[in-house]
Amino acid sequence: MSESEEDINLPSASECEARCQKFAEITGTDTALAMFFLQDRDWDLDRSLNSYFQERDGHSFSAKDVKLKPENVGADRIKKSYNSATDPEPFRIRVMSWNIDGLDPKNKRSRVEGVCDKINKEKPHVVLLQEVVMETQKILEEKCPLYDLVPGGEKEYYTAILLQRNFATVEDAIVMPFYSSMMLRNLLTVKCTVKGIKFDILTSHLESTREHGKERKNQLKIAFESVKRADADRTVIFGGDLNLRDNELSEIGGMPENVYDVWEVTGKRPEAKFTWDMARNDNMEYSSKFKPKCRFDRLYIRYSKPKALVQPVYFELVGLERLQSCQRFPSDHWGLLGHFNVLSRLPESAKK
């Protein structure tokens, strides 16, 4: 290509500046670094962001490197295809998300065993977990033998994703650190198939406390960009303990196009709204008479194109019962459980 042809394809100066600003805003870096990435990639913003996160912020590893139980990592398991004829619920996928409060030292084993009991009872096909620590990871692996665990870290505390082995296959996993985080936060993405449907499953524990709202909003923008960049033919589920206030979502421009809040689209049931409710949950000591309640934990879905393959139909809270072993709740957060219909396999009676 001649120099004149390159100049013709180069965006205008104002457009170059706008793309630099957008890159810096999304990555939390500066326009100098933005220009470095954009210039080398013909000023293509999506390519530049992908390269940045892969080369600088991301740690990518293949399915064979995911920390699965050794006896279940064989090629036959990885290549195993889903058979809807042997599935008692071929039309239903369930996704759970839960901050299991691994940093609370009190009754830790009893509480995480309570989480495992709920997982084994509800049988979600995918589980997004936050505040996992090495001690609780070992209990999860011991008490939830039907699941493969993909960790989002291994030091201090971290996120993890569980996938029910008979219905889900891991393709790839990526951990994207938030380098500006003061609290070791990151974004864990697992590419997988669940009941034969291609998914990108993302979870994060965004920066905590009101004082860190600016960092939290930046992390949420990065997460939403990852949701938007996912291949169009994949359904994307993103959720976790986002520590989110409604005004913060508005301040970043709301949810991206084609991304929906599962609680909202399933009817906004008031009894399933508040996931951190100190009026009902007394795991955390709080001396004030005012007992705050917030919708910190959320689940989002981005539909696949050219048509949606799954549809959220019900949303509920779990972990609402005290454990007999310690008379505490499994966590100071309630867990979320989203129910999704697989549209192509929905019984005729359910379509009416």
Give the torsion sign (CA, 179, 185, 190, 194).
negative
Helix (H, G, I), strand (E, B) or coil at 259: strand
Structure-token pair, residue 98: 């839960």
Respond yes or no: is residue 241 known to be catalytic: yes
Buried b (16+ CB within 10 A) or exposed e, 225-242: bbbeebeeebbbbbbbbb
Give CA–CA dist 49/23, Å, rounded. Answer: 7
Angle subtended by helix axes 45-52 and 213-229, to nearest 10: 110
Catalytic residue among 241, 261, 277, 332: 241
Give CA–CA dist 79/1, Å, rounded. Answer: 44
Give CA–CA dist 296/287, Å, rounded. Answer: 21
Phi and psi angles of residue 195, each rounded to the nearest 5 degrees, phi first:
55, 40
Give CA–CA dist 278/292, Å, rounded. Answer: 6
Q: Which residues are catalytic?
A: 241
